[in-house]
Amino acid sequence: MSVDPKRAALRKILIVGAGQAGLQLALGLQSHGYDVTVMSNRTADEIRTGRVMSTQCMFATALQHERDLGLNFWEDQAPRIEGLGVSVSAPDAGRAIDWVGRLRGHAQSVDQRVKMAGWMETFTERGGKLVIHGVAVSDLDYFARAYDLVLVAAGKGEIVSMFRRDAARSPYDAPQRALAVSYVHGLGPRPEHPDFLAVRCNLVPGVGELFVMPTLTTSGPADILFWEGVPGGPVDVFQGIKDPAEHLRLTLELMRRFVPWEYDRARSVELTDAGGTLAGRYAPTVRRPIGELPSGGLVLGVADVVVANDPITGQGSNNAAKCAASYLASIVERGAEPFDRDWMQSAFDRYWNHAAPVTKWTNAMLAPPPEHVLGLIGAAGGLQPVADRFANGFDDPADYERWFFDPELAGAYLAEVQAAAGPAA
């Protein structure tokens, strides 16, 4: 994938939004010689000292996209995540299921306050134009005439309304989980695997999920405690909580009540900083990729602007990295041809090949699991290949299509693994 640097420099591209996708794409285009401008509503310092923005855990493929661009600045500092475990609570608050799968390639989480501030500074150091300004639809009308291509990578605010909801790909029209995040220091190890780090997914039927993941934050290595509560249920209690200490107290109280095995190692945790909590909810939505401006100009939506999945499967930052890599390839391959409507649609369709399996899997995990899925999750406790395959699906969600969704495929896969394991299994 190459482009004539002189020709690329003549092409002016504007990216609105300075998150994982926007900055990764901007830095990638910059490396190919494009004239790139990024617009952000916050400076690097404001991001670095602000509130946490996400619960990002990036798996091997997404991390490789960063390495390919030389943007893996924190790889030696961030905790190496080598497994992904699942626990399912029993009615007596014990564990009906508990296992961990090993990842083929390690995962990592870097607080977006660290990464986005660092990438933003790198972009400007390399000569990129950074404009600190909130953007309205009326602004985009002007920019669409001034730039060869305008990409919208800011997933919140007025400009998202330009991208119409794709009802055929959006089965939910309301939030399916209430989200509550705490970044903490002082979490103890899981005694089941003290020799390696894993993301832990704790499923509480009818109540929600607690995710625990190692991360790197502004104050060094830490852990994220992340509740996903069924709306209206006992975990849906964080709305309106402004005090970070109260947010953490509620987090721990719910852990003590529903996942005591995780609470046992969290008794002494403290928030990493005053900005280390986050709460909210949103409806998982796929949108049409092309925004039409009043003047007739067109802009292309990026990552969660057009594909916003619930974080229950931890795919947000992975999708963003894959979208940025896909769009970078589509832009470079376009050469000097216009970025017209047909090209915009084809660029999104190319990314949708990655995002469609993620969307199907994520939406399925938000619903009560069918009998055969319960069987797979249960069998993983005694069949390590099943646990490992489930864990590695977080890196390659397309694999679930081959064994997870269909009861017959699931049954055939389990029979194959059991036969290979022998009579003891």
Give SS3 for 266: coil
Nearest-angstrom CA–CA distance, 224 and 187: 9
**What pLDDT, on a 0 to 100 scale, did the predictor assign at position 422?**
83
pLDDT, position 393: 98
* Phi and psi torsions of 178, nearest 5°: -100, 130
- The encoded tokens of residue 421 equal 């394991």
User: How far apart are the C-alpha atoms of 110 and 157, rounded to whole Å?
Assistant: 25
Say if residues 51 and 166 touch (Cβ distance below 8 Å): no
What residues does each domain of the chain span?
Answer: 5-68+111-168+285-365, 81-109+174-280, 370-421
- The H-or-E segment that residue 55 falls in is none
Residue range 81-109+174-280 in CATH 3.40.640.10? no
Question: b/e string for 187-203 if b means 16 or more Cβ within 10 A?
Answer: beebeeeeeebbbbbbb
Q: CA–CA distance from 392 to each of 13, 275, 295, 365 (Å)?
A: 36, 32, 46, 16
In this predicted model, what pLDDT tens digit does every residue of 303-362 receive, in sequence order? 999 999 999 999 999 999 999 999 999 999 999 999 999 999 999 999 999 999 999 999
The pLDDT value recorded for residue 2 is: 56
| Residues whose CB is less than 8 angstroms from the CB of residue 356 and which lie 6 or more positions away in sequence, other chains included | none
pLDDT of residue 425: 54
- Exposed, middle or buried: residue 61 (CB in 10 Å: 0-12, 13-18, 19+)? middle
Put simply, whether the predicted model's pTM sits higher than 0.75 gets the answer yes
User: 5-68+111-168+285-365 sits in which CATH class?
Assistant: alpha beta
Residue 265 is predicted with a pLDDT of 97
Question: Which own/partner contact pairs does 369-378 have at CB distance under 8 Å and 24+ positions apart?
Answer: 370/407, 371/407, 372/407, 372/410, 372/411, 373/404, 373/410, 375/410, 375/414, 376/404, 376/410, 376/414, 377/86, 377/88, 377/97, 378/97
Q: What is the mean pLDDT of each run of 10 residues along the chain (425 residues)?
A: 61 97 98 97 97 96 98 98 97 94 98 98 98 90 93 86 95 97 97 94 97 98 98 96 98 98 97 97 97 94 97 96 98 97 98 97 94 96 98 98 97 96 72
